[in-house]
Structure 1
């Protein structure tokens, strides 16, 4: 198996299980309809560390990432129907929110395709907030600490669908090929002078 997923911190998993076990948490008004309508027990699977790309528009060091949480796909009735996210606070890992939408299926499909690669990778999620973009980050160092956030030129990024216009979704891009495009897309509006 080419994907070497790091285990989620035990407190992160416990916080998701506690939220799933809470009737008010899983049936409340702010819960996505797909999760409220799910039959049977929802099971958290495929935890992925979520990193945010930072310093992309700065003139300082090259873009970095920072770990912001863990996202679990929630499986119910044989299909992924949503996500559960955790975040790290001063008190440790806590449940953050449930989610749904196109990134659920897109993440699952990207992971399935990554399984067929010949090289081994550590799967992560990388968010680019300035572009409203989420990617599957296939980190080449399978033994790396999941909290470490150094993008290596040979790492692969798979923009999840829907991707921003002009960026091909659901295709593998080397970091050294896609990162310059992302930087340009973020910094180009900053470089335009007002008329």
Structure 2
């Protein structure tokens, strides 16, 4: 593992690679939110005698959860040659394997506003193709420091899309929703 100092430029020795994974807080929050939103549906389908089989619904929810888990397995690999975004091998086929950009081809880092009012950043490659900078990784400040070191692009204004306190609030509400779900499922099973 490479240590970074905020005062010294971040660099990696030739052949070294730094790996950035999606923040554990974000992964936990999103997986629990999925469970809270989808978990009660098979039980409610059973109680309401829905046309959709509860077993089929549970299987679909399980597949969706597996896909979400795979998407949250995204990782960013940085070395002295470039940056690469990849997914776990078992789900890579679904996400087209990610992308890779050599540092020498990175021409700019362009901001774009999102529909929710946030700002995301895209690398512009030599062929004018754009690559989304992953912003929900643990160690984002280190990642941005490496980008600036290897590309010379000014990253002073690049900030994470969401702050940790936002995910703590979402996690709190998700836990409350899970409590409501437990009550809903218990009630549904008693009615069956």
Per the shorter chain, which TM-score range? under 0.3
State which structure, 1 or 2, has the greater radius of gyration over its C-alpha atoms: 2
**RCO (CA 8 Å, sep 6+): is it higher in 1 or 2?**
2
**Higher percent of residues as strand:** 1
Name the TM-score, length of structure 1 as normaliser.
0.27
Name the TM-score, length of structure 2 as normaliser.
0.27
